[in-house]
Structure 1
Amino acid sequence: MDPILAATHADPYPYYAQLRAEGGLVFHSQLNVWVASSAQAVAAVLENPVCHVRPSNEPVPHAIANGMSGKVFGQLMRMNEGERQRCPRSAIAPGLKGIDAQEVEALVGARLITADAAGLYNAMFRGPACVMAALLGYSPAQGRAISELTRDFVACLSPLSTHTQLTAAHTAAEQLSGYFVELLEDPDNHSPLLSGIRQRFTGGTPEMLIANLIGLFSQTFEATAGLIGNAILTLIKNPSVLREPAQIDDLLAEVQRFDPPVQNTRRFVVAPCEINGISLKTGDVILVLLASANRDPQLNNTPDAFMLDRPNRRSFTFGAGHHQCPGQNLALSIASATLRQILKKKPVLERLSWDYRPSLNGRVPVFSDTRQV
């Protein structure tokens, strides 16, 4: 195993513990990256202003730089620093924090969710994007179309994607951009979320706004699906952990710490710095093991125990510093409402089998109905 393969391993957590024991920040010669595995090192990297989200010499991955998905990627707040990050974030983040959980519950409840593997797939991957579309003022039919386009677009974010997938991602980016042009020109749109975003978005270009509205969907897609899926896995492995539906919020709060959908992220050193007593130079790459830091005893007591009522729960799953994910509350609300609807169908979870989607950083299960009981 290595720190990247660990993301989709059946149980990477003993390996993460081994990495922490070897030092919070160590160099992995085979991967040619520094690996931050302890809570202290992860926090230091995420807070360091010279540890950027993209390398200076490649702001957009070469594989997509000449296509439409590359144009969108280059303007995403999560992939930029300075004003190109602050401008869209200051417009979007306040609106995400203010979304009513009961509204999310109603939107999820209006969707048809079935208890088989196909139904779980739709609930995990299509449902969250449909909720986001509805919050922005799209119709249900438009939301379904946008969720499919988002599925295609997110391929541009993965180094594992094939040429065919990247071509589809470029097409999806074009079509998503068209949807948002129409949305922003619609005089009958009465979405409070979109209205607030537009009022706060000053100083940026229309293309930047559209790119970051697309980014809302790409951020929602796999991370929320992984949160829902890993909660289902927790219930498969330990059915008694959830004693009553009222504990679903506590379950998800612990799942995102204990078995997070985003296992790692990367930072690129753009100027010499020192972290944890180690000197780093310009051009160094740091693999930041968020999932390992969540299990660090220095961050959480008895970290390998799954505790619904964990006191002072702390987690790096949604990041830290100025790139901390602004959609944490919304993701948890969508996941909570979705899991509640799934459990109302009384699925026979023991009949599900699963594999993890191929990924270098995500831990997202996909279920099938093939397991025998």
Structure 2
Amino acid sequence: MDPITAVTHADPYPYYACLRARAGLVFDPGLGLWLASSAAAVAAVLAHPECRVRPPHEPVPRAIAHGAAGRVFARLMRMNDGERQRCPRAAIEPGLQQVHGEEIGQRVTALLPGLPNDLGARLQHCQFRLPVAVVAGLLGFSAQQLPAIAERVADFVACLSPASSQAQLDAAHRAAEQLSRDFTALLGQTPGSPLLQRIVKGFGAEDRDTLIANLIGLLSQTFEASAGLIGNSLCALLKDRHLLAELRAAPSRVDELLAEVQRHDPPVQNTRRFVVAPCTVAGVSLEPGDGVLVLLAAANRDPQLNPEPDRLLLDRQARRSVSFGSGRHQCPGQALALSIASAVVGALVRHSNLEQPLGWTYKPSLNGRIPLFHPLPESR
């Protein structure tokens, strides 16, 4: 196992504990990257101004640099530092914080009748398509448009993975072009949805291409992060039938489950930072061009961050987590993501036969931990 293959391993956490025991930043010659695995080292890297989200020589991945997906990527706030990150964030974050959980629950409920009957297909739809449909609906797309928007987002997110094939990249470029047209049409409608109005107002003089790119980014971030969070919460329930029974008896505890799962088995296991100037981080001297693999999942289970870190405790006191990042790049939609995932998992607990024997494998990924469910052979 290495820090990349650990992401999709059945249980990577003992391995992460071994990495943490080495403390500080440790160089991995096989990957050619520094590893930050302890809570202190992860916090230091995420906070350091010389550790950026993209290498200066390659602000957009070469594979998509000359297409529509690359043009969107170049403007995403989460793929930039400085003003190109701060300005879009300042426009989008306040609007997201004003979305109420009650409205999210209503939108999830409205989408439930369209779910597949097959349990495996139902779970996958709830992981990937349903959260995107909720956010797209909040932005003002009609119910009839939601399935197509979700499919285009699914195609677009392929461009974010270095492991994507040329066919997937071609589909991502087409999806980026169509999503740009979709948002251009949506922005031409008046009045827009309350959320869209707040975001547009926040952008002020920002150019329309940056606005549209970050609206696409809002949907693309929803896609895989929600899929992992919902999926890993379901894994926790499938492993512990007593916990499933507890949630059915006390549905309000679903929020506590999601809050703990995002710490205990997070959907995004690692992220990267690239050094742009000589600096010292966690006691290690770094040079321009150095890369750091930031092991968020390892830090979450650092005893310095949370006592009894390997236990999944719904009533955990003073829970601390870096799953959504920290500092200037902390996810602006954290509360929204947790609300959507909570509503979806709550609906599945109430309305799906989770007693059916299910297995899962993890979607191939370099940083996302996303289970894909399937019926076990003996259950057929």
With normalisation by structure 1, the TM-score equals 0.98
Match of 2:324 among 298, 318, 323: 318
Name the structure 2 match of 1:359. Answer: 365
Match of 2:239 among 237, 240, 244: 237
Deviation at 1:74, TM superposition (A): 0.4
Q: Write the letter of the residue equivalent to 2:42.
A: V
Q: 1:282/1:208 Cα in 2 relative to 1: closer, same or farther (>3 Å)?
A: same
Secondary structure in 2 aligned to 1:198?
helix
Name the structure 1 match of 2:156. Answer: 153
Stretch of structure 1 that moved more, 114-123 or 231-240: 114-123
Matched, 1:137 2:140: yes
CA distance in 1, matches of 2:96, 2:354: 34
Secondary structure in 2 aligned to 1:279?
strand
Q: Write the letter of the residue equivalent to 1:209.
A: L
Residue pair 2:24, 2:283 contacting (<8 A) in 1 also:
no
Name the structure 2 match of 1:328. Answer: 334
CA distance in 1, matches of 2:352, 2:85: 43
CA distance in 1, matches of 2:351, 2:71: 42
Q: Residue deviations 1:286-336, cap 9 Å, x none?
A: 000000000000000010011000000000000001000001100111001
CA distance in 2, matches of 1:36, 1:169: 31
Alignment of 1:220-235 (within 5 A): 220-235=222-237
Q: Residue deviations 1:71-118, cap 9 Å, x none?
A: 000000000011111111111001111100000000000112446011
CA distance in 1, matches of 2:131, 2:39: 30
Residue pair 1:350, 1:371 contacting (<8 A) in 2 also:
no
CA distance in 2, matches of 1:104, 1:70: 31
Name the structure 1 match of 2:169. Answer: 166
CA distance in 2, matches of 1:194, 1:371: 46
Q: Write the letter of the residue equivalent to 1:247.
A: R
Name the structure 2 match of 1:37. Answer: 37
Residue pair 1:115, 1:342 contacting (<8 A) in 2 also:
no
The two structures, once aligned, show a CA RMSD in angstroms of 1.0
Matched, 1:195 2:197: yes
Name the structure 2 match of 1:107. Answer: 107
Alignment of 1:1-373 (within 5 A): 1-111=1-111, 112=113, 113=115, 114=117, 116-189=119-192, 191-242=193-244, 243=246, 244-372=250-378
CA distance in 1, matches of 2:68, 2:257: 39
Deviation at 1:346, TM superposition (A): 3.8
CA distance in 1, matches of 2:215, 2:61: 20
Q: 1:349/1:273 Cα in 2 relative to 1: closer, same or farther (>3 Å)?
A: farther
Secondary structure in 1 aligned to 2:62?
coil
CA distance in 1, matches of 2:49, 2:205: 23
Residue pair 2:238, 2:354 contacting (<8 A) in 1 also:
no
CA distance in 1, matches of 2:131, 2:143: 12
Secondary structure in 2 aligned to 1:267?
strand
Greater than 4 Å deviation, 4+ residue runs = none
Residue pair 1:353, 1:371 contacting (<8 A) in 2 also:
no
- How high is the sequence identity, in percent, across the aligned residues? 58
Q: Write the letter of the residue equivalent to 1:129.
A: V
Structure 2 stretches lacking a partner, 5+ long: none
CA distance in 1, matches of 2:370, 2:359: 13
